[in-house]
Amino acid sequence: MSMKKGQHIFGTVKVGEKGQIVIPKEARQLFDIKAGDTLLVLGDEEQGIAIVKADVMKELAVKILKGLGGLSKGIDDGK
């Protein structure tokens, strides 16, 4: 099976008794995930689970709110 550029299969992981998984080393390196980082877990009942670095989602939310004009007052611009 060929993958499109930018798409990856990192292998499989097992869920431990406490619901924990280990993110494969290659994925951690590619997405710059380090110990102590906060990740956001998103879910779609039809498509599955996505794990995203929380700071990436914060940046997206700030951009969306700034685009809404008056609602963006007081939003930290990440600087």
Task: Say if residues 38 and 58 touch (Cβ distance below 8 Å).
Answer: no
Q: Is 25 helix (H, G, I), strand (E, B) or coil?
A: helix
List helix spans (H) across 1-79: 25-30, 54-67
More confident position, 28 or 61: 28
pLDDT at 79 over 50: no
Distance separating alpha carbons of residues 40 and 5, to the nearest angstrom: 24
pLDDT of residue 62: 83
Give the tens place of pLDDT for each residue, 3-59: 899 999 999 999 999 999 999 999 999 999 999 999 999 999 999 999 999 988 888
Distance separating alpha carbons of residues 26 and 36, to the nearest angstrom: 18
Every domain of the chain and the residues it spans? 25-71
Give the tens place of pLDDT for each residue, 30-43: 999 999 999 999 99
Distance separating alpha carbons of residues 52 and 1, to the nearest angstrom: 25
Mean pLDDT value across the chain: 85
